[in-house]
Structure formats: C-alpha cells, structure tokens
Amino acid sequence: MAMTISDEAYRALEEAVGEENACREPAMLDSYCWQPFLNMSTDLWVQRPIAVVLPGSAEEVQEVVRVCNAHGLKFKALSTGWGAHNGPTYDNVVQIDLRRMNRIIDIDEKNMIAVVEPYVCGGELQAEVWKHGLNTHIVGAGPHCSPLAGATSMHGCGNDSIYMSTSSRNLLGVEWVLPNGEMLHLGTPGSDAGWFCGDGPGPSLRGIVRGTSGAFGGFGVFTKAALKLFNWPGPDEIDSEGLILDSTGGLPDCSLFYNCQFSREEDFIEAAYRIGEAEIGYMFVRMVTSEFVLLLMPHLFKKLVKHRAIMDLLDKTMAYPFMILLVGSTERELKYQEEMLNQIVRDCGGMAMKFNNIPPAANLMGMNLLRCTIFGTVFRSGNMFATNLDGNEALTTQTDWCSTMEKAKKRYIQSGGLLDDGSDNPYMITYENNLFGHCETIYLYDQRNPEHLESLEPLGFDTTLAAIEQCNVPLAAFEPVTRTAMSPLAGNFNRWQKEISLAFDPNGVSDTGLYTDEKEPDPEKIPAEKMEHFEWLKARFGRKG
C-alpha cells in the first residue's frame, strides 16, 4: 500500500527527535490518514506517511528537515491537524506532528501581541489573553484550530473578523524552518528586535509565506509566530455550565447581541456597509434563520425541510439576517454602538432583536459565540459539512456568491447527492469594519454515504466555474484542480509559487501537493458540458499578459 522508510533514515529521525517521539507503526500512521474533512476524494484515507515525528523544538524540526533532505524524503507538518489538507500527498512523506510545540512564549499586554508555538489552540490562547484584557481572533472553524497555522498556512476568517480581521493579516514576527533546514525569522525577530512586525527590512517576506490561502504545509515549517491581540473589556473568564447546547454561560455585561433581519438583499447590504462606516461591531455573521434550527434542532429541521411553506417562512420572509455582537469598553461606548445599530437597521427597513433580553438565547450564544464553539454543531445533521471556499471581495459580490452557490447546491440535493439543508445555508462574515467580505455556502453530507462522496468533486468544480464567473480566485485554489483551472486566469500565480518554492526547496522535500502541484479535472467525474463551459469561461475571462 505505502512505501516504507529505510532503517537508516528512521534511525536518523529517531536521533533527531528521540526514540519515543518517532513512529512507523502502520496502524498508528493510519491515525494520521483518516481525514474526512475538506476531503474531495471518495476514499477518506489520505496518503499514509512513512513515519511520524514529534519534534519538541524548532531545532528538532530543523534536524528532521535535514534528515529528509539527506535521505530523499519529503515532509509535511501539521499543527492541530483537522482536515485532509494536513495529510501527505506523496508516498514518501514524513509527517511532522507539532503537538509537542505548544508553548505560549509571550503575551505582551502593552503592545497587544502574543507569541505562540504551533500547537497552541485558539481556545487556549483566548483563555490566557482574556486575563490580560485582550482577545485573539478565532477562526470560524473553531477554537480547536491553531492560530499559528491559521496565520501562516491556512485561510483564517472568523465571526470576529469585522473587528479582528483575518489570520493572514494578523501575523507579525515569524520563525520559519525552510525546506532546506535553515531557519528564517521574518521581520523584527530576524533583527533581534522583538516580535512586533513581520515585514522587512525592505520587502516583506510575509509575501511568500502565504496569500489569501496559505501553502498548506507545502513550504517549510512555521515554528513560532507573533499574532495581534485585540481589546477585550470582558471578564477574565466566563463561568459556563453545560456542553454547548445546554450551555448557561451568558453574555458579559460589556456586550450586546443582536439579530437583525432584512427582507431585501439591498437593505441587508446597505446596513452592512453602514455598520462598516460607523465602525461598530465586534462580531458579524450572516446566517439564515433556518441554519439555527439546523444547528440546534437537527431532528426538527429534518421534518421542517420537507415543508416548503415553513422553510419559506423561516428563510424567505426575512431572508437576509445578520448576527452582530457589540462590545464596548464603557457603557457610553456600548450605548453609542447600540443606538447606531438601531438607527442603521431602522434606516434600512430592518428589524433588530436584542438577544440579551432572551436568557436562553443569551446563554447559548455567550461563550459559544465568543469562543466560536457553536458552529461545530453543524456536524449534528449530516455528520460532515463542507463549504465552497470563495474569495473575498466587496460585500455586494458576496451575497451574489451565496445565491449562485445555493442554486448549484440545489441540484445535488435534489438528486440525493447532498443532505437537504434547505439550500440557502450561507456563512458570511466581513473584514476590518466591513472593508470587504467573505461568503461561503455550507453543504451537509454524510461521509459514510458513498453517493454523497461522489458529489464532492463535481460540486467543487461547479464552485470553480462560479468563481470564474464571479472574476474571483476562490480560497479553494489550494486544491490542485482548482489551482490548475484558476492560475492561468489570474496572472499565472502558480508559476510564481512554483518558482519561489523551487528557489527555497531545491531538493523538493516539502510536500507541495496543496501548494503548487497541478491536476486536470477528472473527465470521469466532470460532465462534458461543464468542461465546455469551462473552456468558454477561460476564453471569456482569460487575460493576456
């Protein structure tokens, strides 16, 4: 099935990390291969690594990388490791599990910066920085994800992006083990000047670390990162009982939680723009009403979804809602934000519901929203979800994206290729006072259902086509087929990625499967008419030069 590592190479790995921190037992290696999330393949096992190592320091990571260079092996690092993108794509990959590197190196309260190692998860960092009156951006995927991985290697948007931006833009100083085993410090740590900046001297090498997407472990190993922290006027900790759904941790006094509803898209968008102009809001998410039923009461939803009238009542009468959390350091500030929000909602013909006044809702949303735990309940309906990963652009384009993908999804739902979630299942957030936005359409499936798995690749291709029609490079461009399709239409970006990769990785030891490798669509899975449409789109939207 998989190639095996030579005794000599394995011994060298053991020497690098210590015998107890290296492994080549097949079943244990397989525990790194079961990766159903963001896995477009019908086989949910990803390529088995030939060994797994657990380095405890950046120096040990360097040693492992050197061993890979010396023995013609590839490597791929993972932090918290959720998703198929963490796994190897080649058959000679040493998986570097960074779990032992889990220190919070520093919390610089004055300058609102934390320095962390890869395995610190978002929930841990938030718990610590709250004690300093600060907060950390937690990605929408949840608090179990590594902030370092998000900032250096993955996507990184979240409910708090309106206030705390996105992971890639929160990255400051970086410690990076390059594919040749050399160490590179980006920005200030490179000049022994602290961790407060990752750019310079001169050109910023953050430019090769990542873009909208990261290199997904295909370009060295990031061993420390400094991240921005943000104001948190709330308590050091919020006492919470229960397990998410029966949670009792309420909203802190410094916050107000509103659900605002609009019946027309243009009103929703206008309200979102104005919220951005007013610079209010700590979290902002667009989810339709039925999504809450789906998350919280999947069994009820299963019945409701069969009743069009009820679904329409839920989703179409007030089709454009957003949740917004207002946080103020003083009562004055909070009051201003609240007045401003209500004014905007009124001006835009919407309706604002204050959840603080509804204890069950406040209890449920308190910790679950602040720590971003509620969204994990999306697993409850189908067991698995995926999302079409769009790009980021002006707010208007993001609602369009949602509508487009809703239509694409519907066809699969009708043919039994996906679970019926009512189709309209958006997750839209905004960045930096609504400077721009991001929208995904969630789809639900059961990874144990072969029919569902068969849908994933064609639906992924539909997403690519929709992205081209939208003139946008989707976040999904980390996936080889999407990358191959998009690159020529967007300045041949993969040419530059490949050339930079080659410059730093002459021996090709990084697993570049999700960074630079290319793959044509599988004609067995993509209908001919879609391929024809693709060709037409290429001609229509391709740029010369």
3-class secondary structure, 307: coil
- DSSP letters, 196-248, are S--S-SSS-THHHHBSSSB-TT-S-EEEEEEEE-EE--S-S-----SSSTT--
363 binds another protein (CB under 8 A): no
Go through 317-342 and write b for each residue having 16 or more CB atoms within 10 A of its CB, e for each that does not: ebbbbbbbbbbbeeeeebeebbebbe
Residue holding tokens 């999804």? Answer: 409
Q: Which of residues 294-333 bind another protein (CB under 8 A)?
A: 298-299, 329-330, 332-333
Contacts of another protein in 462-491 (CB under 8 A): 468, 470-473, 477-478, 483, 486-487, 489-491
| Beta carbon of residue 324, minimum distance to another protein (angstroms, whole number) | 16
Q: Which residue is listed with tokens 């929203």?
A: 369
Asked if 535 touches another protein (CB under 8 A), the answer is no
201 CB-contact burial (10 Å; exposed 0-12 / middle 13-18 / buried 19+) = exposed
- Name which of 76 and 371 has its Cβ closer to another protein: 371
Query: Is residue 339 a contact point for another protein (CB under 8 A)?
Result: yes
Query: Which of 179, 214, 281, 417 contacts another protein by CB under 8 A?
Result: 214
The one among 223, 289, 423, 447 contacting another protein by CB under 8 A: 447
Kindly provide the b/e burial profile for residues 522-541, where b requires at least 16 CB atoms within 10 angstroms of the residue's own CB: eeebbeeebeeebeebeeee
- How many CA atoms are closer than 13 Å to the CA of 144, on its beta-carbon side? 9
| Amino acid at residue number 443 | Y
| Per-position DSSP letters for 132-182, written without gaps between them | TTEE----TT-TTS-HHHHHHHS----TTHHHH--GGGGEEEEEEE-TTS-
Binding mask 399-428 for another protein (x = CB under 8 A): -x----------------------------
* Footprint on residues 490-519 left by another protein (CB under 8 A): 490-494, 496-497, 499-500, 503-504, 515
What is the smallest separation between the CB atom of 297 and another protein, expressed in angstroms? Answer: 9
Is 93 or 318 the residue whose CB approaches another protein more closely?
Answer: 93
Q: What angle do CA 52, 66, 13 make, to 5 degrees?
A: 35
**Residue 394, token pair as written in the block:** 């002006």
10 forms part of the interface with another protein (CB under 8 A): no
* Rounded to 5°, angle at Cα 140 from 137 and 143: 65
Given the complex with another protein, which of 142 and 422 has the nearer CB atom?
A: 142
Residues 227-266 that bind another protein (CB under 8 A): 228, 231, 233, 237, 240, 242-247, 249
What distance in Å separates the CA atoms of residue 436 and residue 442, rounded to the nearest whole number? 20
Which of 203-211, 250-258, 313-321, 520-528 is the region at the interface with another protein (rule: CB under 8 A)? 203-211
Q: Candidates 335, 351, 357, 360: give the one binding another protein (CB under 8 A).
A: 335
Question: Cβ distance 311 to 242 under 8 Å?
Answer: no
- Identify residues 161-200 at the interface with another protein (CB under 8 A): 165-166, 168-170, 172, 178, 182-188, 190-194, 196-200
Query: Rounded to the nearest whole angstrom, what is the least distance from the CB of residue 233 to another protein in the complex?
Result: 8
CB of 322 to another protein, least distance (A): 18
Q: Is 338 in the site for another protein (CB under 8 A)?
A: no
380 binds another protein (CB under 8 A): yes
- Is 454 one of the binding residues for another protein (CB under 8 A)? no
Could you give the string, one character per residue 38-67, with x where binding to another protein holds by CB under 8 A and - elsewhere? ------xx------x-x-------------
